[in-house]
Amino acid sequence: MHHDGLPFSPACLRNQEPILTLLRRWLAPNARVLEVGSGSGQHAIHMARHLPGVRWQPSERQDSMAGLAGRIAQEGQQGLAPGAQVAPPVVLDVTEDWPAGPFEAVFTANTLHIMPAAAVPHLLAGSVQVLAAAGLLLIYGPFRYGDRHTAASNGAFDAHLRQLDPAMGVRDAEELLAEAARLGLHLQVDAAMPANNRLLVFQSSSEGRRR
């Protein structure tokens, strides 16, 4: 919790610049972005302050909305890049109804290892549903590759999560890629990020979202 009473994530503060660097490279001008699991709202604010024209839609589960809504209300119109917008946050449980879209990108950071394993395919399928044709899904966080963690600290983190709740845990990138490909999401880049994290960028097939 920050001194202003709003939720605060040190991890967001550490990783926002490396993530921004890659978003600059991948996002089209004036992109509409749905952020799944916005948490403290720090990413939403930071990206809108540095990406001209971006239209950022924060979202969170109902039980975490209060803090997110508070930050967006307090900071969501301050110091934004030219043409950028931060929309009021919406409630989103990935296993239920998604916003209508379409969005040029869906972005999520440090959520897959927290959500139940059974919810991960819903995240992928929901993203396909709301993405515009050739839209992007960008996933940041720790991953393992088969039985191999990318660092001993990630292995310890995975064990800690599973002790807290067996449904949580560092996800297998190879399994994620296979499920994504089945849904028409094709990996464009698997980028190394600070603190043994990765940023996976998928692009939807040209058919994209049609509903």
Q: What is the pLDDT of residues 164-202, one digit of tens each?
A: 999 988 899 999 999 999 999 999 999 999 889 999 999
> Rg of the Cα trace of the chain?
16
Q: What is the pLDDT of residues 47-88, one digit of tens each?
A: 999 999 999 999 999 998 998 999 999 888 889 999 999 999
Rounded to whole angstroms, how far apart are CA atoms 66 and 52?
27
> Which residue type sits at 210?
R
Contact (CB, 8 A) for 129 and 185: no
The residues facing 91 across adjacent strands are 60
Q: Across 142-184, where does the E strand assignment appear?
A: 143-145, 148-149, 171-172
**What are the structural domains, with CATH classification, of the chain?**
10-42+63-80+103-196 (3.40.50.150)
> Which residue type sits at 174?
E
Terminal Cα distance for the chain, rounded: 40
CA 90 to chain centre: 14
Q: What is the pLDDT of residues 123-142, one digit of tens each?
A: 999 999 999 999 999 999 99
The pLDDT value given to residue 200: 97
Kindly report the pTM of this predicted structure.
Answer: 0.92
Rounded to whole angstroms, how far apart are CA atoms 38 and 68?
7
